[in-house]
Amino acid sequence: MQFHLNETQAMLRDGARRLFSNEFDSAKARAVEASADGFSPENWSQLTHLGWNSVVLPETAGGGGLGVLELCVLAEEMGRAAASTPLLISSGVAATCLKLIPSHPLATQLLNMLASTDTVITAALIDDSGRDERTPPRLLLQEGENSLQLSGIKQLVPYASIARALLVSTSTADGETAILAIDRECPGLTFRRNQTLGADPLFEVRFDDVTVADDRVLARGPAAVAALNKSLEVATVIAMAEAVGYCEGIIRLTVEHAKVREQFGQAIGAFQAVSHPLADMRIQTDACRLLTLEAAWLLDQGRSAELEIASAKVLANEAVEKIAVDGHRLHGAIGYSKEHDVQLYTRRARAFCVAWGDTERQIERAAVALGL
CATH assignment, 7-116: 1.10.540.10
Residue 61: per-residue pLDDT: 83
Nearest to 139 by CA among 117, 159, 98, 168: 168
pLDDT level of residue 129 (50, 70, 90 thresholds): confident
317 phi and psi angles, rounded to 5 deg: -55, -45
Start-end ranges of CATH 2.40.110.10 in the chain? 121-220
Start-end ranges of CATH 1.10.540.10 in the chain? 7-116
pLDDT level of residue 1 (50, 70, 90 thresholds): low
- The count of C-alpha atoms lying within 13 angstroms of the C-alpha of 253, restricted to the half-sphere facing its C-beta, is 27
Percent of the chain residues past pLDDT 70, beyond the cut = 99
Nearest to 327 by CA among 82, 89, 161, 112: 82
CATH assignment, 121-220: 2.40.110.10
- In this predicted structure, the answer to whether residue 144 has a pLDDT above a threshold of 80 is no
Residue 146: per-residue pLDDT: 77
CATH assignment, 223-369: 1.20.140.10
Start-end ranges of CATH 1.20.140.10 in the chain? 223-369
- In this predicted structure, the answer to whether residue 9 has a pLDDT above a threshold of 80 is yes
Residue 250: per-residue pLDDT: 98
Rounded to an integer, the average pLDDT of 282-305 is 97
